[in-house]
A and B are shown apart, each in its own frame.
Chain A
Amino acid sequence: MAHHVLGRPAYSLNEDSNTPPSMQVETQIGDYFVTYMVFPAFPRPGAPGRINLYATRLDDGRPFHGEVTFKVRDDSWFGGREEILGVQSPDDNVYRQGFVFTDAGDYVITAEFESEGEPYVIDFPLRIGDPAPIGPIGLAVGTIVAVLLGVNLAQRRRLLTAKIRKARDEARP
């Protein structure tokens, strides 16, 4: 909604129905426009959630009718292991995939399908719970501390060199 950017999560609340707030990501890939929705918008560890995926052709708006495979992996630099969540067929043009995560964290959901011999692989973000974002703060603080320490050491060395040079100059007849 509003100044929406493709590929960025957007959050919406339909106050006229009983559905919880949802998170939605829209993206374009090849011949398809894909919409991915997560219910609830902020799933908690241990609580069930659901992914709805819609894929329609860009040229004529026809929905995709094949199977979609949903996979999941940790969205961290070293968390590479991927698991299959399920393979889904469309139900009224919507692919529905349920999930329950035991651990809080940032995950990447991958939806894969094949159309006219072409493979389609789309990654979407999924946050479970409130993982502590220590990484960016640690990186920023670490960089600043390393630079300040380095500069401090270099300055001490400069001062020492200057002192030695001065002492040599004074000792010279």
Chain B
Amino acid sequence: MNDPGLAALLSGPTCLALGTGNATMTHRGLPVSWGMVTLAFVLAAALWALARTPAKGIESQGVSLGRLPLIGPGIRRLTATPWVLISLRMFLVALFLLVITAGLFGTPIPERNLATMLTWNLWWAGLVFSVLLLGTAWCAVCPWDALAHWLVRRRLWRRAEPNNSLNLRVPRPLRSVWPALWLFIGLTWLELGVGITTSPYATALVALLMVVLATVSLALFERKAFCRYFCPVGRTVGFYSQLSLVELRPIEAEICAHCRTLDCYYGNAQIEPCPTWLVMGRLTQNSYCISCGNCTQSCPHDNIAWRFRSPAAEAVVGARPRWDEAWFMLILLALTIFHGLTMMPFWEPAMRALARVIGDSGRLLWSFSAGLAACIACTSLLYWGAARWAHRWTGSTMPFRRFFATFAFTALPLAFAYHLAHNLNHLARESSGLGAVLRDPLGVHAQPLSLAEKHLHHLDTWIPLDVLWALQTGLMALGFVIALQIIRHRGRSALGEAGQPAWRLAPLILFACAVTAFNLWLLMQPMVMRF
């Protein structure tokens, strides 16, 4: 190799892997030393947890922003007015329509088109960070729902009577998170299998499809059934938001306890009812709250506000186990792992080899689907085995189905931590060039990036690599610690109050260790760039 430019590409933090006839640019993974230190911490924490008796749980009251001195009243006024949310919705709807226009009419070069850059490199990668910091706030300003609401209700925000909907009840089999889960698997299939992330046109089509689904659902069913049961993004945001730093809750629990009007649930003459059938006074988990602000605006006592809390409080204590939700969390974990796997340099050769065995051709979608199914099956079986083993060892009187659902919360911090760490890589290394795309959203007469330009783009990270790695390892360690807390706290109810030793929960702790170790290994591998 005599080309010094190519030599630099092969040795830098972003490198060029030469495969079977293809050149693939990859990001350097987490250094082995960082991975090993994190793994040592994980093992030490696991041993500590095994040696202790199960925890009693954590009591987290949180800090209500509405009660803070000086800024509290201002925050309450801001959340009680609809105009902040309306302004944000209008801005995001305008941006969303621009994305659709760019996708349909702009250049097909993904790195030069606003549709792909904004949707996949910024929004899709950054959404999980918004969940950590702002809970389900994205749902409050979601352009799919805003457009559907404006089209069906024909009101900017006030309650519409009649509400221009057939107000049908959602059929009973669909009243769970299964529809959202299947749609999420479908979205993953489109994203990674069909490759819509590299096609502005396909990105615009999916955006249009989501608006159609949200509008049809709002026109047919009562309240916002799409947000509650069908939206794959909303449900993912909802489940992850069990681990967010904020929540929308009553300021004084007593006021809600004595409330007779339940305006948060029924709405009032001006404000729509809760779109997802929640009563604020009884709310214990974020999963179905879409932060729409109806309750803050309709509460006659001005008693609802955002509050800070421990990210572990809800998944460890507050959230109640349900069979369908348990599967959602487990498959969410499987899909985050799968995302990582498909971006490994070995993924494509593996798919080609599988395609030759099963006689697959073209885009190798059968091979991809088999890989996706195998990842979901392996993760689920691993958890099922751990839960079954722990159920026997603890001699729990809890039915296995309930035991399975109770400890499935363990999957949530493991998935969230890896998702954040993985997406940090995307955000830090692939979001440069967004300014150029915002100046020319349709990429009129734009040329594709040359190899050198791509390399320069990816060198242009907005945080130093050491900081990136520190954040990634910190997130992985935090995810594992929360998973341990969940096992220890929920284990107390499984083991009974007699105080059996925690080592009986070892299979579940082993499951958390195995998943964290595997995810760390994935982070340590070079990652193939999106485009």
Residues on A close to B: CB < 8 A? 1-15, 21, 26-30, 33, 35, 41, 56, 58, 61, 122, 127, 130, 132-133, 136-137, 140, 143-144, 147-148, 151-152, 154-155, 159
The residues in B between 420 and 450 inclusive whose CB is less than 8 angstroms from any CB of A are: 447-450
Q: Does B451 contact A (CB under 8 A)?
A: yes
Q: Does B61 contact A (CB under 8 A)?
A: no
The 8 Å CB contact of A1, one of B151, B199, B531, is: B531
B356 touches A151 (CB 8 A): no
Residues of chain B within 8 A of A58, CB atoms compared? 352, 356
The 8 Å CB contact of B164, one of A35, A56, A155, is: A155
B24 touches A10 (CB 8 A): no
Closest A residue to B444 using CB positions: A130
Assuming the contacts A56-B21, A127-B108, A147-B216, asked whether A2 and B362 have C-beta atoms less than 8 A apart, the reply is: no
The 8 Å CB contact of B108, one of A11, A137, A155, is: A11
> Nearest-CB distance from A163 to chain B (Å)?
13
B448 touches A8 (CB 8 A): no
The residues in B between 134 and 165 inclusive whose CB is less than 8 angstroms from any CB of A are: 151-152, 162, 164-165
Interface size class of B (residues with CB under 8 A): 35 or more
A148 touches B166 (CB 8 A): no
Residues of chain A within 8 A of B362, CB atoms compared? 6-7, 27-29, 122
> Nearest-CB distance from A38 to chain B (Å)?
12
- Separation of A147 and B199 alpha carbons in the complex (Å): 29
| Segment at the A interface, from B172-180, B204-212, B495-503 | B204-212
Would you give 12 A-B contacts (Cβ < 8 Å), ordered by A? A1-B24, A2-B529, A6-B348, A8-B194, A8-B195, A15-B452, A41-B109, A136-B104, A136-B204, A140-B209, A148-B164, A155-B166
Residues of chain A within 8 A of B361, CB atoms compared? 27-30
Closest A residue to B5 using CB positions: A16
Residues of chain A within 8 A of B356, CB atoms compared? 58
> Nearest-CB distance from B92 to chain A (Å)?
18
- Separation of A26 and B531 alpha carbons in the complex (Å): 15
The 8 Å CB contact of A4, one of B22, B151, B211, B212, is: B22
- Separation of A8 and B203 alpha carbons in the complex (Å): 13
> Nearest-CB distance from B254 to chain A (Å)?
41
A13 touches B450 (CB 8 A): yes
A144 touches B164 (CB 8 A): no
> Nearest-CB distance from B96 to chain A (Å)?
13
> Nearest-CB distance from B455 to chain A (Å)?
11
Assuming the contacts A2-B24, A29-B361, asked whether A143 and B216 have C-beta atoms less than 8 A apart, the reply is: yes
- Separation of A10 and B151 alpha carbons in the complex (Å): 37
List of 5 A-B pairs having minimum Cβ-Cβ separation, nearest first: A5-B195, A7-B363, A11-B448, A2-B529, A15-B450
Q: Does B20 contact A (CB under 8 A)?
A: yes
- Separation of A15 and B348 alpha carbons in the complex (Å): 27
- Separation of A132 and B449 alpha carbons in the complex (Å): 25
Closest B residue to A12 using CB positions: B448
The 8 Å CB contact of B364, one of A1, A28, A132, is: A28
The residues in B between 206 and 242 inclusive whose CB is less than 8 angstroms from any CB of A are: 208-209, 211-212, 215-216, 219-220
As a 0/1 sequence over residues 493 to 531 of chain B, the CB contacts with chain A under 8 angstroms (1 = contact) are 000000000000000000000000000000000001111
The 8 Å CB contact of A148, one of B151, B193, B447, is: B151
B166 touches A151 (CB 8 A): yes
Residues of chain A within 8 A of B197, CB atoms compared? 3
- Separation of A132 and B361 alpha carbons in the complex (Å): 31
Residues of chain A within 8 A of B449, CB atoms compared? 13
B195 touches A35 (CB 8 A): no
Known: A2-B25, A143-B216. 11 other contacts (CB 8 A): A1-B25, A2-B454, A2-B531, A8-B195, A12-B448, A15-B452, A28-B360, A41-B448, A143-B212, A148-B215, A148-B219
A140 touches B198 (CB 8 A): no
- Separation of A21 and B449 alpha carbons in the complex (Å): 9
Residues of chain B within 8 A of A13, CB atoms compared? 447-450
A1 touches B205 (CB 8 A): no
> Nearest-CB distance from A46 to chain B (Å)?
18
The residues in B between 445 and 483 inclusive whose CB is less than 8 angstroms from any CB of A are: 447-454
Assuming the contacts A2-B25, A12-B448, A127-B108, asked whether A28 and B528 have C-beta atoms less than 8 A apart, the reply is: no
B530 touches A2 (CB 8 A): yes
Q: Does B343 contact A (CB under 8 A)?
A: yes
> Nearest-CB distance from B413 to chain A (Å)?
27
> Nearest-CB distance from A79 to chain B (Å)?
18
B21 touches A5 (CB 8 A): no
Closest B residue to A22 using CB positions: B448
As a 0/1 sequence over residues 351 to 390 of chain B, the CB contacts with chain A under 8 angstroms (1 = contact) are 1100110001111100000000000000000000000000
- Separation of A15 and B21 alpha carbons in the complex (Å): 20
The residues in B between 18 and 43 inclusive whose CB is less than 8 angstroms from any CB of A are: 20-25
A1 touches B212 (CB 8 A): no
Residues of chain B within 8 A of A56, CB atoms compared? 21
- Separation of A67 and B531 alpha carbons in the complex (Å): 34
Residues of chain A within 8 A of B25, CB atoms compared? 1-2
Assuming the contacts A127-B108, A137-B208, asked whether A151 and B219 have C-beta atoms less than 8 A apart, the reply is: yes
The 8 Å CB contact of A133, one of B104, B151, B199, B531, is: B104
Assuming the contacts A6-B364, A58-B352, A133-B105, asked whether A26 and B22 have C-beta atoms less than 8 A apart, the reply is: yes
- Separation of A113 and B529 alpha carbons in the complex (Å): 34
Q: Does B184 contact A (CB under 8 A)?
A: no
Closest A residue to B20 using CB positions: A33
Q: Does B407 contact A (CB under 8 A)?
A: no
Residues of chain B within 8 A of A159, CB atoms compared? 162
Residues of chain A within 8 A of B363, CB atoms compared? 5-8, 27
- Separation of A35 and B20 alpha carbons in the complex (Å): 12
Residues of chain B within 8 A of A29, CB atoms compared? 361-362
A8 touches B219 (CB 8 A): no
